[in-house]
Amino acid sequence: MSFLLGQLKEVIIAYGETECKTLRGDALAWQDIQAELTERDGGLEIALTASETPVRFLALRWALPLPEDALFLGDAWERSYGELQWRSMAPARLMPWYFLMLSQSILTGFGVKVRPSAFAQWKVDPKGVTLLLDLRNGRYGVRLDGRRLVVATVVTERYPLEKRSALSASHEFCRRLCDDPLLPAGPVVGANNWYYAYGDISRKSVLEDCRYLKNMTDGLPVTPFMVIDDGWQAKHSATYNGGPWDCGNRRFPDFPRLVNEMSSLGVKPGIWLRPLLDSSPALPQEWRMPIRDADGRICGQREALDPSRLEVLQKVQDDIRRMASWGFQLVKHDFTTYDIFGKWGFQMGNWPQDEAFSGFADQSRTAAEIVGALYRSIREAAGETLILGCNTIGHLAAGRIHISRTGDDTSGYSFDRTRRMGVNTLAFRLCQHNAFFAVDADCVGILDDSHTIPWECNRQWSELLAASGTAFFTSVRPDALTTTELDKMRQFYRMATSPTSAEPLDWLHNNLPSRWLINGQEKTFDWFLDRLEKSDALS
């Protein structure tokens, strides 16, 4: 093989319930299982067929010695949670989807192309590189029944850094991994009411948000989005944020009218939903995620809907089409990873699915295929409406969402949370911006005029976010800003809609980079100006 990984040392097939087989040389078949490796378009296509035997994992091992001084950066399964960073070699470390290696002024990328049919992650050690592919459907191996499955396509590339930065090379590698990104037509700016209202919203408050947003953005070359977040749905309560999604509660009696009112105030209406959580009694119980016993028999249902069922995908599409028909120009779908796998990204061990997840009703497809089909269905139903994915698996959603919330929630209460979730994801996933989708590192949250988060902290976060060229959303309680602060926020909105760039300079040794290159000029940010008694570590 001519690509950078060199000679393949071995392939391991995990099949049945606990069996494994190691294959070497050109013989990549065992019993009824056949693996195929084909060089195609500068990558290595991995395919698999099996007539009867369920297949759980594939592992490919290359004997590629790696430099001792190298630093490595991997990705995350869904959103990141403040953990991304360059690290020295750690053989036990698992790196989802792709990893970047930096050594002797050369950046090398190893990854799988977006939308593979398996969860993929990498391991490195002094003697080689291993690619691990999870083909399961829950805790069980996938049953292909003779189907040929293209599992993943491996891509590698080397970038000398004499005339380019590590971030530029990383972005170029991400572009190699995605041939068809789905991108907004222009800059994405706007507001979201979550980080000051936290669900306590109404038609009246949304219209006031629109007026305040228009005040901050008047004269911009693009129209801002006003996103109605959680709190509008019929059964919303302090303990439930699911559907049905066909109407609002008493505070939101008429969405077509509200959309017209929002548009007349000079904003583009957007709305949030949690598509796989709907407690409507009219929905058949078998539509819900199955619970299986030790023998694989369905013995109950979870609350969330099962996206492997065609009826559920049709129901989700109906909800998306309804919101588009109401006139919403952006739909933010949320919680799908949690609703499917029952875990947040920081709770996932080796894989998103483990022994506690008993799989889907349809066991003929891998979990990755089923998740990808959900994203594709939402995209098809949306038509011209922009899709913002939150709690999505970015590598499976690329090309199916316009905008991706790449980190966990920032905050209107704690800047400790904003810097961990916002600054970290912006720095370490900025390479994905306009390569996979438009990156959304989340909002500037301003809860009140007493500035629970000091203005100077939010001012710096606003400036960096606006300069980055990524999506720029604020969440500001109307009239929370002083006249001086409001003028500054107007400047940030103008910056966010202008040609601009930001690049972390100290990200190799600081996972909350403070030194940034902003439009060619170095600028230092102080991320620790907040009152330390607000730190999450003290709560």
pLDDT digits (tens, 9 = 90+) for 216-241: 999 999 999 999 999 999 999 999 99
For residue range 255-268, list pLDDT tens digits in order: 999 999 999 999 99
Q: Is pLDDT at 504 greater than 70 in this prediction?
A: yes
Handedness of CA 75, 81, 84, 88 (dihedral sign): negative
Break the chain into its structural domains and give their ranges.
Answer: 8-177, 189-500
Give the pLDDT confidence score for residue 1 in this predicted structure.
35
> Phi, psi (5° rounding) for residue 431?
-65, -20
Q: Is pLDDT at 539 greater than 90 in this prediction?
A: no
Q: Is pLDDT at 188 greater than 90 in this prediction?
A: yes
What mean pLDDT comes out for the span 444-463? 93
How far is CA 280 from each of CA 225, 246, 311, 345, rounded to the nearest angstrom? 30, 11, 15, 28
DSSP bridge partners of 339: none
Give the pLDDT confidence score for residue 531 in this predicted structure.
67
185 three-class SS: coil
How far is CA 319 from each of CA 123, 244, 257, 381, 524, rounded to the nearest angstrom? 40, 9, 18, 9, 45
Give the pLDDT confidence score for residue 503 in this predicted structure.
98
Give the pLDDT confidence score for residue 532 in this predicted structure.
66
Give the pLDDT confidence score for residue 219 in this predicted structure.
95
Least-confidence region, from 91-105, 287-301, 368-382: 287-301
Closest CA to 430 of 398, 406, 460: 406
For the chain, the average pLDDT equals 95
Give the pLDDT confidence score for residue 26 in this predicted structure.
79
Q: Which CATH number fits domain 189-500: 3.20.20.70, 3.40.50.300, 3.40.50.150, 3.40.50.980?
A: 3.20.20.70
- Residue for token pair 């995605």: 178
- Render the burial of 14-32: b for 16+ CB within 10 Å, e for the rest: bbeeeeeeebeeeebebee
DSSP bridge partners of 95: 122
What mean pLDDT comes out for the span 93-109? 97
For residue range 121-148, list pLDDT tens digits in order: 999 999 999 999 999 999 999 999 999 9
Q: Is pLDDT at 173 greater than 50 in this prediction?
A: yes
Q: Is pLDDT at 3 greater than 70 in this prediction?
A: no
What mean pLDDT comes out for the span 103-109? 96
Percent of the chain with pLDDT strictly greater than 90: 91
Give the pLDDT confidence score for residue 2 in this predicted structure.
43
Hey, which of 107-116, 298-307, 442-451 has the most confident mean pLDDT? 107-116
What mean pLDDT comes out for the span 327-345? 97
Residue 138: enclosing H or E segment and its boundaries?
Answer: none
